[in-house]
Structure 1
Amino acid sequence: MKESKKLGINTTCVHVGEVKDAQYKGAVSPIYTSTSYAFDGVDVKRYPRYFNTPNQEMLHKKIAALEKTEDALIFGSGMAAISAALFAFLQKGDHVVIQQVIYGGTYNFIVSEFDKFGIEYSFTESDKVEDFKPLIKENTKVLYIETPSNPLLGITDMKAIAALAKENGILTMIDNTFASPINQNPIDFGIDIMLHSATKYMGGHSDISAGAIAATKEHIEKIWKTAINFGGNLSDQTVWLLERSLKTLNLRVKEQTKNAQKMAEFLENNADIDRVYYPGLKSHPQYELAKKQMKGFGAMMSFELSEGIDAMKFQNHLQLIKPSMSLAGLESTTVSPVQTTHALLSEEERLARGIKDGLIRFSLGIEETEDLIEDILQAIKKAKS
């Protein structure tokens, strides 16, 4: 087979990282559920917590191929991946600069845990590179970004951030969950470490909890040494399910992205919607930047309901679209960030980040857009009455 970097995206999704069924010649990967392997007379001493069972090893190859990196690691959740990556490169006395608007779980992890370990941190005022520069100190080791950001779909200039980091000998990390490897490959812009909640687009069916890191072999080796102590490995049953799901990643994400563009344009022209946050709209302040660094604008958006329309009443009247905690499944879902992803932030902190009570985060599935639009219209009508 050709090198994965020369294969088409669908071919990569289907064939790279599949476990060959040497015994029975089955069309899909066999699953190895053993938690105990031989230690003598073998090339690899395998143990699930060491991220090196047959299914784990091969899935690493698929994710690395999708992100165009040398290596990858998979975890039990996105937060397991994020925490392992940050703790691998930060120790007592180090400093990290973090983009202001990020996933609420990441924010809470940083403010809850880093002080205990003597790790300093600074949050930027915006996603602009100019806000990162003055925060860099002699002990800064990592610049952490998220683009598109959760939940306001802000776009960060990856090339500019990578250049700034390299000038100062600093490592860069990105949460690439919202874009997925289909719509964005940060390595093309100089970012060092890619992080994913694989629960989202990589899993794609709302039935898998997982995380992923993609980077150079050198960086993955360092993360691995920390990760084996935290025990955040993924069970092989779920590894197998994730490998199955990744086979359709490109097909799913492209269809979802197409739906999102149509929906964003509809919502922007609806009198009951005050504002739509979607990088594929020309009204988005970073539309031109998004065009430069994204292959597609993604399937995530947020919108603000007009004053007087209660966010929960609106969501409770939806019939097809599901009010639900997570995102990126085949089914369209909504969520109120103030009650879920950013509930751990104070009201003052949320408002400082532009997260209002009427904000709805919207994950587009693969349903017909016309059906979704009809559902939104009837829910708005009922919420208003």
Structure 2
Amino acid sequence: MTKAPWLTIIGIGEDAPDGLPRASLEALEQAEIIMGAPRHLALLPPLEAELVTWPVPFADGIDILLSHRGRRVAMLASGDPFWFGAGTSVTRHLAPGDWRALPGVSTFSLAASVMGWPLETTRCFGLHAAPLTRLRPALAAGVRLIVLLRDGAAVRALAQYLRAQGWGESRISVLESLGGPQARRSDLRAADGVTGDPAHPVCAAIEIAGTGTAVPLTSGRPDALFDSDGTMTKRPVRALTLSALAPRPFEHLWDIGGGSGSIAIEWLLSDPSLSATTIERHSARAARIAQNAAALGVDRLQIIEGDAPTALEGLQTPNCVFVGGGLSATLLSWLEARLKVGTRLVANAVTLESEALLMQAQARLGGDLLRIDLARAAPLGPRRGWKASYPIAQWAVTL
């Protein structure tokens, strides 16, 4: 006989209890303990259960919840607990049979219904505790966004951020307390700022407009997007390198010799499920990588300051490794000995000495060697001619 779950996660809206389905109402009536935010608890009718207020910050409440294991507990969460909600933060601590979920209507669905927007082509973000820069890759003319925000101050910061990025003409609909009797909509332009003090729970529906610079969807983004001291894999070579790295969902990258961080950042821009660690020996460059990553909305990039291979010890196992700087026989030997079978390895070399290392490694381990010769049109006296860049040797192999 299957053991009944002790925890029920209930998605609740601003119109509870009238808006709750029968199964959710029954779970609340049967619960010994109901735990939730003060505004959720205030919506409930009189019940026999003990009411426990979820503390701030949210993480502090997880141990309290788990301390009631074995009793009948109901946890209240906004809307759909598993769409930028609290559900996963709790269930990662539980066994599959410990819990069940009764989701409500998500804030995204409610906002799309107010705006008349198709959710399948609308970008959705949960930024309660995340920086607004995560919006950066999505900012392009005509894009529609629905963004969950922490409070009224975050709404004002959103308008300021859009103005600073050149998207001041964007239309913002500030949506408060969706789904309940206090629901309110305020329409404004980002350039005009936010008046009043929007109340939590609040989200913003945004239609992007203006003259800002959009981040292209393909690899090989413009060099101007990255702050650099000149140590950077330039756009054409970066595009070829990302093609060789071939990111796939949920993979982890080591970017050895980060420079400006452009390779790791473009890797992360490929898909939100990807992760990356970049290793950089110079403090100033490591700081610059962090700034570039934050500015382009991939603040999840892990940055390790140090020399490879020493700095690689103890790091998360990679699916893919790129060596863009610090190439040596010692490093290649360490990677060959430590990386798992099936790991993809890509290395670029500019000097003759580094190129010789790649030729020796390719002879030993196989893979593909590619020579990249690029030239740009440049002034040549009163006319123009081709100015060649240093050729680059690229080795790509699956170990």
TM-score by length of 1: 0.31
Q: Relative CO higher for 1 or 2, CA cutoff 8 Å, sep ≥ 6?
A: 1
TM-score of the pair, normalised by structure 2: 0.30
Q: Which has the larger radius of gyration?
A: 2
Structure with greater strand share of residues: 2
Q: Whose helix proportion is higher, 1 or 2?
A: 1
